[in-house]
Structure 1
């Protein structure tokens, strides 16, 4: 059995155990079948493992990562009638179901972790199970911190819930200051590191994953030295390396490779996802193109010589815009002329007569680009039953976190920041020229931000990045543009009709506390100007 199926089978076992314990002869003493009874559970190491495994399904699926980027400048919500489209256009309020689902999903994961940490001490500890029980404690702590990172970055001051609570207690929660949330995350992850092994079954939180999350959290919090130190801990483990083929990084063949620090596990026919049917070009099994790339990200990819396409010496050919570009462009997104999973050529040009033609249907791409990450030929035959894992932490992110934090602290004389960026740029099948060692701090800041955007495109980082950089107010607003193509001898650029993105710098750097949460709990304080 594949290692990546570990939580699937055990979670099913957990459900079965719950049902079995409810089938007692004495009807009046029946155990409720919607929960686990302490009378029958928390007796063995296996019980603890089952409970920890039940936390993992709260990790992000690919659809969540695509959504986050779809609300920024680098991607677009393809169906104008989708609820998430209202958020992208900034015509939503605190009652938005999109925002509410982000809040509730995170607290669901936190509640699952709290359940473990509140009860795991009930399992009798022995010399033979002590290490395993500590590992489960560490996993729960790190998984809880994972959710709080997203909450803090999205909402700012949020309730800090560290134990299982009743409905009445939930109605009395208050917002904890964001610095208190970051303090808690840092403490939790450092405690988790002490409990976790360095090497572990694929798909589980390891020591490296906890340190990587700590680096991410401290970068988001602006605690740059802590981010550097945590990233260095990942390096010191010497367990992770850049996978040499970016082109295959999101393929079945590359699952579990040396770059992946944590992924959410899937298994076709058992616990599958539908990333192909929702993200592939429309011509491929009538996929829905839920989110599509924009001209903003397309134009950001430099030429293969490392120069931006706006540089007159770059060699950029506006009539052949996809030739000699950073290879990650065509590894990350389908552009006109690419070969599709069914072997045909991707042709989204208006009036091309293909199913992918812009304007042919509301499911066809509206920009002329579609996302290629996670789209695998193996899934064409059964597009709604995919087993490709969702990558949540990879080594390239840690390198770029280290580099950015060093640059922000102006620790650039030793060139370790520059070297980290160049490692990412010079991955085997990317092989861009290294950045010059003469770049000053401002130039390096621009370089690392551009590198994060390109390297991590469509992986759910962009929203958090432009918020903490305070660049969202310039990056997001405006029309949505797509491909530039030749029409009757004239170059034309696609503009999505009647669609304007907006961003209010006095309000939108934080999402609103969901309205229903405030109705249920009047103690919660709404974010400014919501």
Structure 2
């Protein structure tokens, strides 16, 4: 992406983007003079667009809520820094509160929607050629649709503002549009933007919104819309909120619509799973996250070279003092064996005495367990992570700083997307990694899920999409048993999403749209205590947290400070 996209508007034109935090939708104050100045200079205009770009991916950042993000807000991981009441603690304990929950999904999204409307209003007078105006208009419309999707997946139906730019003294619409109206609007915007964008960009334009991002967002949107939580099985069966938070009717054809949306990307032939070389099984799954440019990313948050994730997810003695979340044993156990079977299958070869032998290669590229090798600044080499408790001398039990209970409450650390040759605290090691938002792997899984649900029985196209994921993962054999039922294939697809998309912000919304959060997030979750003795290492299961889930938590509460400003802004059920 052009380097201008790393310049925040707050730096380039601070007066123009001063925010009034008291106003509904976090209104941006501006004067006609400021708008005239900004949009009469092409550099300022592009920098303004950069500001809208700069906050994509905010919802899936691993430290969104301090010691964790969406991963710690669901059954994926245990958050760090448990001494304070924050959003992930509220979700873990069933105490989600409209007065205390973070407002970022609301304020960040509406702030950028307003910025997009300002951009669209002034674009006709911008000082660059018509071809660039067409492209930037399409990019802006997509970004606006993206932020509306952020609102929709958190809250259900929300107020749609159209192209209007409201001022501090304006009467701003606060009535929530229906779920169907929101879906139709976002689809319309994605399609309109896609019409004026190429399938991909190169050179200094790499990282800008393209046609694939538009269709990729539409694919996710329509998959969610077809899912049980929103497809006629909403949280209420009557009243004014029924059509706001979901479709009031159930319609199987919505799965077909989701299938066709994913198919738009697949049939383009422009994107594919990154395969890497044959140096190790599943290497492409590791390598894709280390490449700034690859065949798999439809949309990513572009970054300069960095050590961000190494500084969040590595163990304490590997240079981390302000960590993110720690995977639960249940997340670890979701990764089956290299032969494609689950660890519960009697034919899998799983050995509880050697629990990490011959596992799905994605396991070691997603989770750091006892004795995993992680890059360290000392000697700039890989060192084993000592998570075990040493009981080789029963009279002198010791453990290191990285050990269970000291460094990690679950006996695991997150390793997803971490670079094997980068140390968190060594300035001379960096990665060009950008943060994925939509990957081709998700598109394949979206397609498989939608087609399986629509057909009622999986066909060869469903098999092919899932097997492509498993093949790239390094499973051998990667093929699935012929003649699976819809329910059996559904279970496999759900498991593949849990593994393939782990720690990318999907699990939180997946268990909700499937309406299984009341089971997955309402149970005792565990960790592993490795104990080293004179003879061997034993792996003991430990209790970490009894999570509590209330059905109102299928949706986020709209911040109470916003609801209090208008009687027309209805709060979500249960809040």
Normalising to structure 1: TM-score of the pair?
Answer: 0.87
When residues 18 and 371 of structure 1 are mapped into structure 2, their CA distance, relative to the original with a 3 A threshold, is closer
Instruction: Tell me if structure 1 keeps the 8 A contact 2:307–2:424.
Output: no
> In the aligned structure 2, how far is the partner of 1:138 from the partner of 1:64?
31
> In the aligned structure 2, how far is the partner of 1:414 from the partner of 1:4?
43
Return the offset for 1:108: 2.2
Corresponding residue of 1:404: 449
Give CA-to-partner distance per residue, 1:91-131, whole Å, 9 cap, x none: 23111242x12221222222222221222123378xxx222
When residues 111 and 385 of structure 1 are mapped into structure 2, their CA distance, relative to the original with a 3 A threshold, is farther
- SS, match of residue 198 in structure 2: coil
Corresponding residue of 1:331: 365
Structure 1, unaligned runs of 5 or more = 21-31
Corresponding residue of 1:7: 5
Instruction: Tell me if structure 2 keeps the 8 A contact 1:358–1:366.
Output: yes
> In the aligned structure 2, how far is the partner of 1:206 from the partner of 1:334?
35
> In the aligned structure 1, how far is the partner of 2:355 from the partner of 2:31?
57
Instruction: Tell me if structure 2 keeps the 8 A contact 1:266–1:388.
Output: yes
Structure 2, unaligned runs of 5 or more = 17-28, 227-253, 276-283, 377-381, 391-397
Corresponding residue of 2:211: 207
Instruction: Tell me if structure 1 keeps the 8 A contact 2:77–2:328.
Output: yes
User: Which of these residues, 100, 103, 118, is aligned with residue 96 of structure 1?
Assistant: 100
Query: Which one is further off, 50-59 or 344-353?
Result: 344-353
When residues 236 and 46 of structure 1 are mapped into structure 2, their CA distance, relative to the original with a 3 A threshold, is farther
Corresponding residue of 2:414: 371
> In the aligned structure 2, how far is the partner of 1:206 from the partner of 1:117?
18
Give CA-to-partner distance per residue, 1:2-34, whole Å, 9 cap, x none: x4634014x47x8446679xxxxxxxxxxx999
Give CA-to-partner distance per residue, 1:324-372, whole Å, 9 cap, x none: 1111011111111111111221122245522111222xxx211011111
When residues 492 and 428 of structure 1 are mapped into structure 2, their CA distance, relative to the original with a 3 A threshold, is closer
Instruction: Tell me if structure 2 keeps the 8 A contact 1:289–1:370.
Output: no
When residues 455 and 170 of structure 1 are mapped into structure 2, their CA distance, relative to the original with a 3 A threshold, is farther
Does 1:353 pair with 2:409? Answer: no
Does 1:256 pair with 2:287? Answer: no
Residues 80-159 of structure 1 mapped to structure 2, 5 A cutoff: 80-82=82-84, 83=86, 84-98=88-102, 100-123=103-126, 129-159=129-159
- SS, match of residue 344 in structure 1: strand
Query: Which one is further off, 103-112 or 429-438?
Result: 429-438
Corresponding residue of 1:72: 74
User: Which of these residues, 206, 212, 234, is aligned with residue 265 of structure 2?
Assistant: 234
> In the aligned structure 1, how far is the partner of 2:91 from the partner of 2:496?
26
Q: What is the root-mean-square deviation in Å for CA atoms of aligned residues?
A: 2.6
Query: Which one is further off, 477-486 or 457-466?
Result: 477-486
Query: Which one is further off, 202-211 or 348-357?
Result: 348-357
Corresponding residue of 1:195: 196
Does 1:285 pair with 2:324? Answer: no
Corresponding residue of 2:541: 493
Count of aligned residue pairs for this structure pair: 500
Give CA-to-partner distance per residue, 1:302-332, whole Å, 9 cap, x none: 1111111111111100011111111101111
Instruction: Tell me if structure 2 keeps the 8 A contact 1:74–1:295.
Output: no
Return the offset for 1:385: 8.6
> In the aligned structure 1, how far is the partner of 2:100 from the partner of 2:190?
32
Instruction: Tell me if structure 1 keeps the 8 A contact 2:310–2:418.
Output: yes
Instruction: Tell me if structure 2 keeps the 8 A contact 1:48–1:136.
Output: no
Return the offset for 1:401: 0.5
Normalising to structure 2: TM-score of the pair?
Answer: 0.81
Corresponding residue of 1:26: none
> In the aligned structure 1, how far is the partner of 2:542 from the partner of 2:36?
63
